């Protein structure tokens, strides 16, 4: 009787020890899981920082390219303005040469007019003398009306030539005025071109200042991107160290605390016939790749999902994780294409994951 009581006491002590060890193991796994979640949040924050830095660097590059394009355009405009100034200077010199040529021609024409007037006076005197002589001779020879008509026609011709020469003189004066007007227009064009050149130079100075500012912002964005990349690498190294320590602690706890009694209970639980046909396809523990292929794994957190939802990009995510992502992003985390905030639950997949966790409790604790 005493021996049976002692054996019962030993069994109770062993059962209590096993329960305390299991509680300690569950508490250790819970602490490790909490550390793992904190490390994952740290990695996600570093990823967000790096994404923002890359976007700022891209915007700075866009501004730099825009400033360079504006500099090229302003440089081309400046060359065109310089060409216009050169062509206007050449046109001005040509106009001045033409004006001098016109003045020379006018002086020549004036000299010709004076010579013709002189000749006309001389010819007029000679003509009068000849007419007197001719009339004297005609009076003697009884001048005829035909000869008088010829003389009248000659006088009309001379008058017509005089009118033509006066018209030519007026035409030359008009050409000279037009030439002077063109010279004044060329001067106006040169002044406008010089004003445009000054404006373009001022614009070039402003664009160079903008380019320097854009370049400075790009350098600052690159520095921030480098710092975020270094922080991300440090976080990833910390996460990897934590993950290795977690795996090592889990292995040690499983080796130390897995007693024959627990193994027997686990084997009996696996052999429970309740709902066996419904979970037949989930009874074997799958690898991470198989769980990912089944759609059990969230592509962001890389963990088994508790509340799976379908986003507008057609991918499955953990609800809390994708809601956190959508607060800071408007694109899909998988395809980087635009995404809306509409989320649709999948009850069938949720039940399947819950069944899989019930069949494999050790997988549900990760």
| Mean per-residue pLDDT of the chain | 78
CA distance 53 to 49: 6
Q: In whole angstroms, give the CA distance from residue 204 to residue 71.
A: 7
At 338 the three-state DSSP class reads strand
Residue corresponding to tokens 């920082």:
49
- Inter-axis angle of helices 2-141 and 260-270, to 10 degrees? 60
Phi, psi of 318 (to 5 degrees): -70, 130
Instruction: Please state which of the ranges 233-237, 257-261, 326-330 shows the lowest mean pLDDT.
Output: 257-261
Number of Cβ within a 10 Å radius of residue 329 = 14
Quote the CATH superfamily of domain 272-366. Zinc/RING finger domain, C3HC4 (zinc finger) (3.30.40.10)
Q: How confident is the model at residue 117 (pLDDT cuts 50, 70, 90)?
A: confident
The C-alpha atoms of residue 186 and residue 85 are separated, in whole angstroms, by: 10
pLDDT digits (tens, 9 = 90+) for 73-93: 988 888 887 887 677 678 778
pTM greater than 0.85: no
pLDDT at 264: 46
**Tens of pLDDT along 209-220?**
877 787 777 777
């Amino acid at each position: 009787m005493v021996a049976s009581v002692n054996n019962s006491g030993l069994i109770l002590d062993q059962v209590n020890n096993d329960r305390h060890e299991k509680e300690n193991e569950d508490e250790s796994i819970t602490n490790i899981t909490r550390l793992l979640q904190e490390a994952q949040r740290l990695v996600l924050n570093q990823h967000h920082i790096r994404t923002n830095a890359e976007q700022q660097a891209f915007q700075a590059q866009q501004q730099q390219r825009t400033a360079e394009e504006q500099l090229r355009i302003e440089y081309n405009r400046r060359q065109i303005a310089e060409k216009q100034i050169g062509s206007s200077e050449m046109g001005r010199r040509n106009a001045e040469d033409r004006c001098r040529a016109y003045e020379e021609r006018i002086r020549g024409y004036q000299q010709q007019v004076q010579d013709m007037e002189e000749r006309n006076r001389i010819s007029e005197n000679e003509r009068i003398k000849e007419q007197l002589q001719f009339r004297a001779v005609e009076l003697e020879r009884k001048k005829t009306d035909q000869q008088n008509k010829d003389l009248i026609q000659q006088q009309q011709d001379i008058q017509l030539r005089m009118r033509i020469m006066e018209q030519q003189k007026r035409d030359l004066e008009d050409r000279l005025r037009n030439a002077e007007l063109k010279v004044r227009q060329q001067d106006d064009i040169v002044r406008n071109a010089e004003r445009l050149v000054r404006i373009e130079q001022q614009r070039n100075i402003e664009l160079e200042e903008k380019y320097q500012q854009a370049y400075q912002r790009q350098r600052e964005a690159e520095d921030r991107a480098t710092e975020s990349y270094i922080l991300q690498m440090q976080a990833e190294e910390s996460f990897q160290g934590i993950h290795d320590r977690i795996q090592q602690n889990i292995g040690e706890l499983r080796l130390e605390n897995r007693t024959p009694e627990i193994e027997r209970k686990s084997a009996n639980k696996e052999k429970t016939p309740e709902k066996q046909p419904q979970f037949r396809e989930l009874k074997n523990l799958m690898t991470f790749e198989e769980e990912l292929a089944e759609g059990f794994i969230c592509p962001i957190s890389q963990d088994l999902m508790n509340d799976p939802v379908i986003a507008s990009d057609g991918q499955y995510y953990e609800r809390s994780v994708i809601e956190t992502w959508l607060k800071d992003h408007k694109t899909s985390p998988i395809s980087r294409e635009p995404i809306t905030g509409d989320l649709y639950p999948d009850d069938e997949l949720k039940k399947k994951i819950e069944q899989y966790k019930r069949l494999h409790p050790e997988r549900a604790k990760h």
